[in-house]
Amino acid sequence: MSGGQAEGAALAQAIVAAHAGGFTGFAPEPLPPPTSGAPVYRAALAAASQLGFIAQDAECIARAWAAQSVRTGRFDPAQWPHDAQDFGLASRASRASGPAFAECPQALGLYAVLPDAEWVGRMARAGVPTVQLRFKSDDRAAIAREVRAAVAAVQDTPALLFINDHWREALEAGTYGVHLGQEDLDALAAPDLDTLRTSGARLGVSTHGYAEMLRASQARPSYIAMGAVFPTTLKKMATAPQGLARLAAYAQLTRGYPQVAIGGIALEHFPQVLATGVGSIAVVRALVAAPDPEAAAARLLQAMHPPRAP
């Protein structure tokens, strides 16, 4: 093994030792600083893979860790990279990536993802502050009707309505915002993205790791959703559940955006999820599978804003 390879292997072992417990592990014995960013890049790439990150996310971590080490002039195996500039994450304040989407509240609160307009109206009337219509159909006429019905259902409530996927119908109906999955955002042609942005509608984007967060940030959306935090049976996920430790790291990186945590989150998870600093928690089954959805909404709303100790 060459000197550079040995150095990289030692750095990788130090990173894994510090973070194998979920980014909160002990700091190993200090190592001499690497002579350049290259050993750190190789070490971080190997360590991220050992820690279970998929290849595209391991690459993002490696680049960020090398950039952090060069910027600070030191290597700290316990200091997981979290600075947006090291990752190349586009901020909402920067104009480098063009104009941003319209702003939404920094804290969207309880966020209900619902199957049809009737459910949208029901949860809006129950006091849920943010609702999303996730209506699955290949019938364009049926989609347009359901979107219009959802917009009408929230008109006499303060709820903010996002439409999942069906952005053209959403703009025609005058909805508050649109939510797109990563694949839908990637597939959106530049003129369509400009149309969506200039309409004034808010845009939320689903992400499932570092690489997707970086791509989403290039559009400078209104909020970034991060998940799946826990296992979910509602859709087949390409990535494993992220867990609370990764959610906390993602939230720290994307502090410049309103953040939504989503995926398998139940009432008992709320304190730990909120402790990561996210301003919104999205739920599906916690409401639509509840025996009494209105009572479930009341409990979730209370958990979202627990009373302060005297």
3-state secondary structure 5-31: HHHHHHHHHHHHHHHCCCCCCCCCCCC
How far apart, in whole angstroms, are the C-alpha atoms of residue 208 and residue 226?
A: 6
CA 254 to each of CA 34, 69, 203, 236, 280: distance values in angstroms, whole numbers, following the listed order: 28, 20, 16, 25, 13
Binding residue per annotation — 194?
no
For the beta carbon of residue 36, count every other beta carbon within 10 angstroms: 12
Tokens of 65: 């860790």
Q: Is 76 annotated as a binding residue?
A: no
Contact yes or no for 134/164 (Cβ under 8 A): yes
- The answer to the question of whether 127 is labelled as a binding residue is no
Structure tokens at 41: 């890049």
Instruction: Name residue 159's amino acid.
Output: A
Secondary structure of residue 33 in the 3-state scheme:
coil
CA 6 to mean position of chain CA atoms:
36
51 marked as binding residue: no
Taking alpha carbons only, the member of 217, 216, 226 closest to residue 261 is: 226
Q: Name the H helices within the chain.
A: 3-19, 37-50, 55-72, 84-87, 117-125, 140-153, 167-173, 182-187, 190-198, 210-218, 243-253, 270-274, 285-288, 293-304
Q: Is 50 annotated as a binding residue?
A: no
CA separation for the pair 62, 78 (Å, rounded):
14
The annotation status of 134 as a binding-site residue, yes or no, is yes
Q: DSSP letter string over 44-58?
A: HHHHHHHTT--HHHH
Distance CA 106, CA 110 (A): 12
Q: Determine if residue 236 is labeled as part of a ligand binding site.
A: no
Show binding-site residues for Mg(2+).
Answer: 165, 184
Binding residue positions: 132-136, 164-165, 184, 206, 235, 264
